[in-house]
């Protein structure tokens, strides 16, 4: 174990330099982990999607609605066990900065399609009996301090006017990956109000959400639904919920790609720092390495010393960086509130962080170890670094 | 007289690998910093220049974007006939009643789809946008199912090139021309005859009305009159302001994410500079003592090492900027969250960004070099001469 | 009336101690002596005797704890650090055991260094540097870096640097300590000429008796106290 002791003592020789290097590594690994978590959060919607749910939207684009009378016709298709609908409301709570998703849903049927939204039965009943009631997610409630009984005013953009709703229930997510930043209210209320204001816009909904009994038949059933409405006024496009969510992500793909690239850049930056540290350290100790060689230690031993020191520093920084990722991610998640409803550090991210630290530790040592192993003894002894 | 410059920069050159790695780390950080600024500027240019200073966009009150806005025929007619509206050479009003829809189109490169904005324009639509030219083919004939595509759309989406057809609203539409909007937002749009599109989508309403003012100063008068008119539920904005507001979320996101990233990364580079400079000071202790013995002051020593760190920063800054300038060859295309449609913009480099990036690099150099330089200055002559 | 030789260095009751962890270690205790102008004096003694410390005090790169130290009439013990730096630049020439040349500067630039602290113009500096380097016989090595010069050549560059500002005293700390016999003799001969032809007062610390022979006067230091022998 003398070898390990030697390595450890060597790292402590230059306390300032070692601690600065470790600090740099902590910052880099932390940044890397955070960026990857941001990318994961981007895909969170798709990750949380169920394979037993389909989404039917207007084939032209999401901006066009579907008639409400499609619901009964779709329900009759074989393999469909339940159907509900949701419409994007897009209201503004005080300022546009306070973004969270709002949907007008078919209250009676919607929540049975989403068993991952946990709502106490008494609250659900209160919501069903209040036409102007709303159901909000736990994260949304925490971000703005909403409680049951509070009134939430929304300024309509797509559906103009000043709207206000009463919180009747707060839902929790069954899993960590469930989106609890959403806001649901009665579509009936929306429709009634539209009847009085703009008659042309009544009886239209955004998307249908369909539950199927056999996930393997998803493609089949999707085609059946779309065939039913081909050549009608509002042609449909049905896909799995996952595909639907991924569609959104792909529209902002450029940003995701950019963030991924940047996360690797930070590793390169710290690699430069680490390589510099090891190069300087090795150069200053040439006389020592020459001495060891004179004493009979082979080039592998020397290389081992340098790799060992480099890895020791990299692992110290890596472990600290990984540990810090969790509290920092939590703070970040609080700050962005409902913009990233799901923000959790995944196991894969931790593996990648560890791999990055190890890779940096090894790569930084390559050149110095090579040089040290090859230094001729006499020259080395004469050198004063 | 201070320590000679040749002493300072030759010390950097004497340790090639270390100088390379340290400056290299800083170069990468400056690259990220400059690239983010360039992206922001590209986005701003695209959107702000999408608007002309004497044009006015009228949408429904608090609609936010044209997609969410609805203006019925009567209101549109009232607005069109306001006295501040300019006339074109052929005696017609320079006003365009327009309707916006978003359709999902498949990209040429992958099969992924994205929302593309289709704008039904009035006869004066293209005249109202002087920055838009027909680059290929010709303008669509009014009353037909011909359309023209913006440069970015034609390049990226299947069926959007000259001679190709797109199918939507239960009709076939032929692309007869490509418009070059000088890298503004219209490059990401498809234009057609507003009446044809309204019929095809069964939307008997407009999304917006674009007017050219005969006198830009008349804007506030027009705005007050329209917004206070009880018959109308509209809001009036200058075109450039309108488009700038459209991208606020995206622009802010880019700016904040970019700045946070740059700051975090700069910590890494500053640490790298600090390590290098501390080693530099330690290895040259005898030189420092000799210089002090010869009569150079502590402040000369401080300045010499600070300058060394600044040179490292400057080197990193220049390299980082050169790398960033290559980003100008790339275009980014992403969905603007507010308008829900795809927007293409590129990286734009200007003098202000160059200056900011170099300043950032120099600041990193100073931050990394300050403590080590202070240590060098604080050494006692006798101790540093004794150092090995 | 003959002009009595003037003392150029007057040391009175000087004391100096160093910190070693918690302890104060006295190095010089109430030491007093004079150095006459134009003298070539060697300070000898075992390690730890304080000879280098004494040299440092005379050269103005360290300050005594108490006592007065007059060089050419100025009590340098009372000068501020900034003034001391200016004083050194004008009055002291340094010669070190390991030459202490800047490795990244050429021989020319190394010799020029002290002149950068004066108000001389570029041309004036060039003139003096070339003259000094010719006096030490290195005109053909002017653009070489220290790594390209032998030990003896490097020390000659250092000597040129030491007298370029025409200082009042030259201090040399083991000037031949790193040289072979031949080079050492060269250097000692040079110092002798500086003393006899240019009248420079030279104070040399050495532990080599052969080097000490070049000096007019040898003083021994032992545990901070002086002896006189010649």
Averaged pLDDT, B342-352: 89
Q: Which of B293, B308, B380 to mutate to test the interface with C (most CBs of C within 10 A)?
A: B293
Q: Which of A198-207, B104-113, B200-209, C141-150 has the highest mean pLDDT?
A: C141-150
Question: Residues of B with CB below 8 A from C47's CB?
Answer: none
Identify the pLDDT of residue A330.
86
pLDDT of residue C2: 52
pLDDT, average across residues A164-174: 94
CB contact under 8 A, B287 and C100: yes
Give me the pLDDT at residue C230, please: 47
The chain C residue lying nearest B286, using CA atoms, is C100
Sign (positive/negative) of CA torsion C155, C159, C164, C170? positive
How many beta-carbon pairs below 8 A join chains B and C? 68
DSSP type of residue A92: B
Q: Per-residue pLDDT averaged across B183-210, rounded?
A: 90
CA distance C72 to C74: 6
A83-92, A349-358, C104-113, C216-225: range with lowest mean pLDDT: C216-225
pLDDT bracket for residue A205 (50, 70, 90): very high
CA angle A35, A41, A47 (to 5 degrees): 135
Those of residues 322-361 in B touching chain C at CB distance below 8 A are none
What average pLDDT does the structure give for chain C?
90
Q: For residue B1, is pLDDT > 80?
A: no
Contact B319, B24 (CB under 8 A): yes
DSSP code at position B328: G
Q: How far apart are CA A147 and CA A141, in angstroms?
A: 7
User: B333 to chain A, minimum CA–CA distance in Å?
Assistant: 6
Residue C188 has pLDDT above 60, yes or no: yes
Per-residue confidence (pLDDT) for residue B300, from 0 to 100:
94
Mean pLDDT of chain A: 89
How far apart are the CA of B4 and the nearest CA of chain C, in angstroms?
8
Interface probe with B: pick from A22, A36, A63, most Cβ of B within 10 Å: A63
- Choose the weakest-confidence range: A29-33, B336-340, C48-52: B336-340
**Record: contact A247-B334, CB cut-off 8 A:** no
B285 in A contact zone (CB under 8 Å): no
Average pLDDT of the residues in C41-51: 87
Measure B385 CA to nearest chain C CA, in Å. 9
* Helices C151-163 + C122-135 axis angle, to 10: 130
Cβ atoms of A70 and A270 closer than 8 Å: no
A94 vs B: CB within 8 A: no
Residue A338 has pLDDT above 80, yes or no: no
Q: What's the confidence (pLDDT) of residue C3?
A: 60
> How do residues B292-318 score in pLDDT, each as one tens digit?
999 999 999 999 999 999 999 999 999
Contact criterion met (CB < 8 Å) for B287 and C81:
no
Q: What DSSP character marks residue B141?
A: P
Angstroms from B24 CA to nearest CA on chain C: 23
Contacts of B3 in chain C (CB under 8 A): 116
Cα distances (angstroms) measured from residue B163 to each of A83, B118, B196: 42, 18, 19
Alpha-carbon distance of B53 to B67, in angstroms, equals: 22
- Smallest Cβ distance to C102: which of B1, B287, B385? B287
A53-108 confidence digits (pLDDT tens) = 999 999 888 888 999 999 999 999 989 999 999 999 988 898 877 889 999 999 99
- Closest chain B residue by Cα to residue A25: B268
First to last CA, chain A: 28
Closest chain B C-alpha to A364 CA, distance in angstroms: 11
Alpha-carbon gap: C227 to the closest alpha carbon of chain B (Å): 25
Question: Rounded mean pLDDT of A350-375?
Answer: 92
Name the minimum distance, in Å, from the CA of B86 to any CA of chain A: 30
CA distance C146 to C110: 9
As a whole number of angstroms, the distance between CA C217 and CA C41 comes to 5
A268 touches chain B (CB under 8 A): yes
A385 — pLDDT class (breaks 50, 70, 90): very low
**Interface touch A160/B24, C-beta < 8 Å:** no
Q: Does the beta-carbon distance from B62 to A31 stay under 8 Å?
A: no
pLDDT band at A1 (very low <50, low <70, confident <90, very high): low
CA distance B7 to chain A (A): 19
Is B334 within 8 Å of A266 when comparing Cβ atoms? no
Residue range A146-154: mean pLDDT, rounded: 94
Q: What is the pLDDT of residue C223?
A: 72
Using CA atoms, how far apart are residues C198 and C72, in angstroms rounded to an integer? Answer: 17
Taking CA–CA distances from B292, the nearest residue in chain C reads C85
Cβ contacts of C219 within 8 Å, gap of 6 or more: C33, C41, C42, C43, C44, C226, C227, C228, C229
**What confidence tens digit (pLDDT) does each residue in B95-119 have?**
999 999 888 888 888 878 888 999 9
pLDDT score of C229 more than 60: no
CB neighbour list of residue B325: distance below 8 Å, 6 or more residues apart: B349
Reference B107, options B182, B178, B188, B34; nearest CA is: B188
- In this structure, chain C runs to a length of 230
Residue pair B38/B348 in contact (Cβ under 8 Å)? The answer is yes
B120-162 pLDDT, tens digit each: 999 888 889 988 999 999 999 999 999 999 999 999 999 899 9
A31 to B264: CB separation less than 8 angstroms, yes or no: yes
Residue from B82, B79, B55 nearest B216 by CA: B55
pLDDT digits (tens, 9 = 90+) for C143-167: 999 999 999 999 999 999 999 999 9
How far is A32 from A42, CA to CA, in rounded Å?
A: 16
Q: With contacts defined as CB-CB under 8 Å, which chain B residues touch A250?
A: 112-114
Distance CA B173, CA A8 (A): 73
C1 has a pLDDT exceeding 70: no
Q: Which chain A residues touch B17 with a CB distance below 8 Å?
A: 276, 279, 367
**Chain-chain contact of B7 with C86 (C-beta, under 8 angstroms):** no
Q: Could B112 and A60 be called an inter-chain contact, meaning their C-beta atoms sit closer than 8 Å?
A: no
Tell me what percent of the residues of chain C surpass a pLDDT of 90: 69
d(CA A189, CA A196): 11
pLDDT of res. C170: 95
Taking the C-alpha atoms of residue B381 and residue A284, their distance in angstroms, rounded to an integer, is 23
What is the rounded CA–CA span in Å between residue B181 and residue B187? 5
pTM here is 0.84
Q: Do A385 and B283 touch (CB under 8 A)?
A: yes
Tokens 């000490």 identify what position? C212
CA triplet A187, A189, A193: central angle to 5 degrees?
Answer: 115
* Min Cα separation C4/chain B (Å): 32
Chain B, residues 278-317, CB within 8 A of chain C, namely: 286-287, 289-298
Which pair of tokens denotes residue A359? 């890779």
What is d(CA A353, CA A35) in angstroms, rounded to the nearest whole number? 11
DSSP symbol at A51: T
**What pLDDT does B241 receive?**
87
Q: Which of A236, A273, A328, A366 to mutate to test the interface with B (most CBs of B within 10 A)?
A: A273
CB-CB under 8 Å, B10 with C88: no
Give exposure, A36-69, as e/b (b: 16+ Cβ within 10 Å).
bbbbbbbebbbbbbbebbbbbbbbbbbbbbbebe
- Nearest chain B Cα to A159, which residue? B68
What angle, 0 to 180 degrees and rounded to 10, lies between the N-to-C axes of helices A253-284 and A347-374? 30
**pLDDT of res. B240:** 85
Task: Say yes or no to pLDDT of A238 above 80.
Answer: yes
A312-325 residue pLDDT tens: 999 999 999 999 99
Measured between CA atoms, the residue of chain B closest to residue A244 is: B113
Residue found by looking up tokens 């190394």 in the block: C110
ipTM of predicted complex: 0.89
- Note whether B10 contacts C: Cβ–Cβ < 8 A: yes
Sign of CA dihedral C135, C137, C143, C148: negative
Q: C222 by DSSP, 3-state: which?
A: strand
Instruction: Establish if C62 touches chain B: CB-CB under 8 angstroms.
Output: yes
Q: C118 — contact with chain B (CB < 8 Å)?
A: yes
Rounded CA-CA distance A321/A31 in Å is: 9
């Amino acid at each position: 174990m003398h070898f390990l002791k030697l390595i450890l003592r060597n790292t402590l020789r230059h306390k300032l330099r070692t601690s600065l290097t470790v600090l740099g590594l902590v910052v880099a690994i932390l940044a890397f982990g955070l960026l990857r978590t941001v990318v994961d959060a981007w895909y969170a919607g798709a990750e949380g999607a169920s394979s037993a749910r389909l989404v039917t939207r207007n084939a032209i684009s999401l901006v066009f609605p579907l008639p409400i009378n499609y619901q009964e016709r779709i329900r009759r298709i074989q393999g469909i066990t339940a159907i509900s609908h949701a419409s994007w409301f897009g209201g503004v709570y005080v300022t546009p900065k306070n973004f969270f998703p709002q949907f007008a849903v078919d209250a009676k049927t919607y929540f049975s399609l989403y068993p991952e939204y946990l709502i106490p039965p008494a609250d659900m009943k209160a919501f069903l009996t209040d036409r102007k009631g709303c159901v909000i997610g736990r994260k949304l409630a925490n971000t703005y301090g909403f409680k049951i009984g509070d009134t939430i005013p929304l300024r309509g953009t797509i559906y103009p006017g000043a709207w206000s709703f009463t919180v009747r229930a707060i839902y929790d997510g069954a899993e960590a990956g469930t989106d609890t930043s959403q806001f649901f209210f009665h579509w009936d209320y929306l429709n009634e109000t539209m009847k009085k204001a703009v008659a042309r816009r009544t009886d239209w909904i955004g998307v249908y959400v369909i539950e199927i009994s056999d996930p393997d038949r998803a493609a089949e059933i999707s085609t059946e639904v779309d065939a039913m409405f081909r050549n009608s006024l509002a042609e449909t496009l049905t896909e799995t919920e996952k595909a639907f969510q991924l569609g959104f992500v792909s529209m902002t793909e450029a940003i995701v790609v950019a963030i991924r690239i940047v996360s690797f850049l930070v590793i390169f930056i710290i690699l430069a720092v680490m390589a510099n540290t090891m190069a300087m350290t090795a150069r200053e100790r040439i006389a020592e390495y020459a001495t060891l060689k004179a004493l009979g230690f082979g080039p592998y031993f020397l290389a081992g010393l340098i790799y060992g020191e480099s890895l020791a520093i990299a692992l110290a920084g890596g472990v600290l960086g990984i540990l810090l990722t969790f509290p920092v991610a939590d703070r970040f998640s609080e700050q962005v509130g409902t913009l990233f409803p799901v923000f959790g550090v995944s196991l894969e991210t931790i593996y990648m962080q560890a791999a990055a630290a190890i890779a940096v530790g090894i790569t930084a040592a390559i050149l110095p170890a090579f040089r040290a192993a090859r230094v001729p003894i006499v020259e080395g002894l004469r050198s004063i670094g | 007289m201070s320590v000679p410059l040749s002493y300072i920069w030759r010390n950097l050159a004497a340790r090639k690998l270390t100088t390379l790695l340290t400056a290299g780390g800083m170069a990468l950080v400056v690259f990220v910093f400059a690239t983010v600024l360039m992206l922001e500027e590209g986005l701003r240019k695209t959107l702000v220049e999408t608007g002309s200073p004497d044009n006015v966009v009228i949408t429904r009150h608090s609609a936010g974007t044209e997609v969410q806005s609805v203006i019925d025929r009567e209101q549109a007619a009232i607005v069109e006939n306001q006295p501040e509206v300019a006339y074109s050479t052929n005696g017609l009003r320079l006003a365009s009643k327009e309707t916006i829809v978003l359709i999902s189109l498949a990209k040429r490169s992958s099969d992924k789809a994205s929302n593309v904005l289709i704008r039904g324009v009035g006869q004066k639509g293209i005249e109202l946008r002087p920055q838009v030219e027909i680059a290929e083919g010709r303008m669509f004939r009014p009353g037909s199912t011909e359309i023209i595509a913006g440069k970015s759309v034609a390049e990226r989406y299947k069926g959007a090139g000259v001679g190709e057809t797109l199918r939507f609203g239960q009709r076939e539409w032929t692309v007869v021309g490509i418009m070059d909007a000088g890298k503004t937002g219209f490059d990401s749009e498809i234009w057609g005859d507003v009446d044809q599109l309204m019929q095809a989508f069964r939307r008997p309403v407009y999304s917006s009305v674009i007017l050219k003012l005969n006198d830009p100063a008349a804007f506030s008068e027009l705005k007050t009159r329209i917004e206070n008119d009880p018959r109308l539920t509209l809001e009036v904005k200058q075109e450039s302001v309108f488009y700038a507001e459209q991208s606020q979320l995206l622009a802010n996101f880019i700016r904040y994410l970019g700045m946070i990233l740059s700051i975090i990364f700069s910590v890494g580079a500053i640490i790298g500079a600090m390590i290098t400079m501390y080693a530099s000071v330690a290895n040259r202790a005898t030189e420092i003592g000799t210089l002090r013995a010869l009569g150079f002051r502590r402040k000369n020593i401080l300045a010499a090492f600070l300058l060394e760190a600044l040179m490292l920063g400057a080197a990193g800054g220049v390299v980082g900027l050169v790398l960033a300038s290559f980003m100008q060859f790339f275009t980014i295309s992403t969905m603007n969250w507010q308008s829900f449609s795809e927007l293409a913009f590129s990286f734009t480099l200007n003098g202000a960004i160059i200056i900011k990036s170099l300043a950032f690099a120099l600041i990193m150099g100073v931050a990394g070099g300050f403590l080590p330089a202070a240590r060098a200055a604080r050494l006692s002559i006798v101790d540093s001469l004794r150092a090995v | 009336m003959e002009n009595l030789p003037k003392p150029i260095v007057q040391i009175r009751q000087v004391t100096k101690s160093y910190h070693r962890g918690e302890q104060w270690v006295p190095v010089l205790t109430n030491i007093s002596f004079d150095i006459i102008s134009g003298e070539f004096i060697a300070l000898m003694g075992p390690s730890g005797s304080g000879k280098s410390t004494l040299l440092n005090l005379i050269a103005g790169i360290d300050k005594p704890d108490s006592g007065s130290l007059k060089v050419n009439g100025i009590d340098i013990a009372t000068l501020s650090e900034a003034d001391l730096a200016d004083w050194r630049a004008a009055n002291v020439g340094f010669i070190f055991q390991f030459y202490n040349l800047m490795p990244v500067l050429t021989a020319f630039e190394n010799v020029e260094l002290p002149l950068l602290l004066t108000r001389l113009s570029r041309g004036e500096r060039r003139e003096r540097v070339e003259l000094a380097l010719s006096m030490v016989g290195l005109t053909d090595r002017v653009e070489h870096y220290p790594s390209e010069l032998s030990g003896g050549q490097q020390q000659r560059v250092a000597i040129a640097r030491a007298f370029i500002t025409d200082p009042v005293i030259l201090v040399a700390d083991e000037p031949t300590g790193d040289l072979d016999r031949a080079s050492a003799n060269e250097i000692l001969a040079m110092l002798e000429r500086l003393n006899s032809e240019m009248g420079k007062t030279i104070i040399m610390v050495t532990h080599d008796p052969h080097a000490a022979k070049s000096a007019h006067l040898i003083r021994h230091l032992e545990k901070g106290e002086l002896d006189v022998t010649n």
